[in-house]
Amino acid sequence: MKVGIIGFGSMGSMIAGKLLENKVIKPSELICANRTLSKMDNFKKAYADCTVTSDNQLAAKADIVFVCIRPASLKEVLCGIAPVAGKNTLIVSLNGSVLFEQLESVLAEKTRIAKVIPSVNAEVDYSVTSVCYNQHVSPKDKNRLESLLKSFGSVSEVAENELGMASELTSCMPGFIAALFSVFAEKAQPHTALQPAQIEDMLARTLEGTGRLITQKGLSFSEVLERVATKGGITEVGAAEIFENFGKVAAAVFDKTLEKRKATTQKAKESF
C-alpha cells in the first residue's frame, strides 16, 4: 500500500513520522509532497527510502492520500490532483470545516473521501482520532485507513454533522485541559510555598493517573469522584464548587467554539 501526504506542516509531518516510527508502512511506501522541499530535509535524512517531492500529483497517485492543507489553498490543491488520483484512491482531508459537498465538487465523480481530525496526543501514541466518510467509501477503505490511524491511538467514527463537536472533545481538548489546569496551578500558588514547576508536575501526573484509572479500570467520571470524595470531606466541598460554577464556563466554551466553527465552515464554503 502506498501512502501519500500532501502538506508537510505540523500534522502532515506528524502522520508521516508516526506511520514510519511505528512501522505501519515502510519508508519506500511513503510519498511526501510539500511546496518547500527544504522543509523535509531532516525527514529525508532519517528515512532515505521515502520519496519527497514538490509535486502534489506524484503523491496523489498513492492508495491513500492525506491532504494536510489550509482551507485557503485546499481547492487549488484538490483541482490539481483530481486528474491523477486513481478511481480507488482514498482522499483524506484533515480539514473538518470543508464539507464533503465542497470536496466532491472539485474531485472526480464518486471519489472516495474521508475527513480525519487527529489530536496532538498522537505524539505519544494516545490520540483519539475522529473520522467520517462520504457515501463512496467501502468497508475495505475504512479498514485500511483505520489501520494507519490506530498506530497512534484509537479511532472514533462519527457522522459529518457531529465532526465539529467530536473535534472539540478530542483535537481541541488537550488545549482546553492545559488552559484549565494552568488556572488551577495559578490559583494554588498564593496558598502554598510549593514552586510553580512542582505544582504543574503534581497536576500533570495526577491528570495522567486519573486518565489511566478511568481507561484501564473502566470507571466513569462519577465513579472516580465517588471513590475520592468522602461525605462531608474536602473533595466533596471542592467538587460541589466546580459543579456549581464551572458548568457556565464549559457551556460558554462550546458556544464560542462551535460558533467559530460554523463561521469557518461558511468561509470555506464560499471559497469553493
Mean pLDDT of 242-253: 96
- CATH T-level assignment (fold) for domain 173-271: ProC C-terminal domain-like fold (1.10.3730)
What distance in Å separates the CA atoms of residue 237 and residue 245, rounded to the nearest whole number? 13
What is the SS3 assignment for 52?
A: strand
What distance in Å separates the CA atoms of residue 209 and residue 215, rounded to the nearest whole number? 10
Q: Are 190 and 183 in contact (CB under 8 A)?
A: no
For the chain, the domains span 3-167, 173-271
Q: 142-163 burial, b for 16+ CB within 10 Å, e for fewer? A: beebbebbebbbebbebeeeeb
Q: Which CATH number fits the domain 3-167, given the four candidates 3.40.50.620, 3.40.50.720, 3.40.50.300, 1.20.1290.10?
A: 3.40.50.720
What phi and psi, each to the nearest 5 degrees, are found at residue 160?
-60, -40
Q: What is the pLDDT of residues 87-137, one digit of tens each?
A: 889 999 999 999 999 999 999 889 999 999 999 999 999 999 999 999 999
Whole-number pLDDT of residue 72: 84
Q: What is the pLDDT of residues 36-61, one digit of tens each?
A: 999 999 999 999 999 999 999 999 99
Whole-number pLDDT of residue 138: 95
Mean pLDDT of 239-266: 94
Q: Output the DSSP codes for 124-164.
A: GT-EEEEEEE-TT--HHHHHHHHHHHGGGEEEEE--GGGHH
Whole-number pLDDT of residue 108: 87
Q: What is the pLDDT of residues 141-189, one digit of tens each?
A: 999 999 999 999 999 999 999 999 999 999 999 999 999 999 999 999 9
- Burial of residue 49 (CB within 10 Å: 0-12, 13-18, 19+) is exposed
In which band, very low, low, confident or very high, does the pLDDT at 199 lie, cut at 50, 70 and 90? very high
Q: What is the pLDDT of residues 224-240, one digit of tens each?
A: 999 999 999 999 999 99
Whole-number pLDDT of residue 269: 85
Nearest to 97 by CA among 172, 156, 155: 172
Write out the E strands in the chain: 3-6, 30-33, 51-53, 64-67, 90-93, 112-117, 127-133, 153-157
Count how many Cα atoms sit within 13 Å of the Cα of residue 229 in the half-sphere of its side chain. 14
Count how many Cα atoms sit within 13 Å of the Cα of residue 193 in the half-sphere of its side chain. 0
Give the sign of the dihedral formed by CA 8, CA 14, CA 15, CA 18. positive
- pTM strictly above 0.95: no
